Amino acid sequence: NTTSKVNHNLSLEVHLFAAGATSDTTVRQLVADCLKAIGTDNQWSGNAIMTRNYSDELFAEHKGMKIADAVLKFQILYRTDLFQET
């Protein structure tokens, strides 16, 4: 009975960092690994309806040391019984 259920959205941000000569390549690989891992089970073993990646940003800085980072943003949709603690 779907009338006794309520949908929830959980926002999740993943920050990835790397430093060194190949930091941009390393961060790109970390992004790919993270997306692959979540894509393997985007329902979190049946605890979620779906997970979607709605944003990914890559940054690089070269002040003295080459540093790269990325921010991945996900939205996780899950459902609970009405009035159930989440």
- 38-77 pLDDT, tens digit per residue, is 999 999 999 999 999 888 888 888 777 889 999 999 999 9
Query: Is there a contact between 56 and 72 (Cβ–Cβ < 8 Å)?
Result: yes
Split at pLDDT 50, 70, 90, the class of 86 is low
pLDDT (average), residues 15-35? 92
Q: Could you tell me which of 33, 26, 24 has the C-alpha nearest to residue 14?
A: 33
Q: Which residue has the tokens 């890559």?
A: 58
Percent of the chain at pLDDT > 70 equals 94
Residue 76, C-beta contacts closer than 8 angstroms, at least 6 positions apart: 9, 10, 11, 12, 44, 48, 50, 51
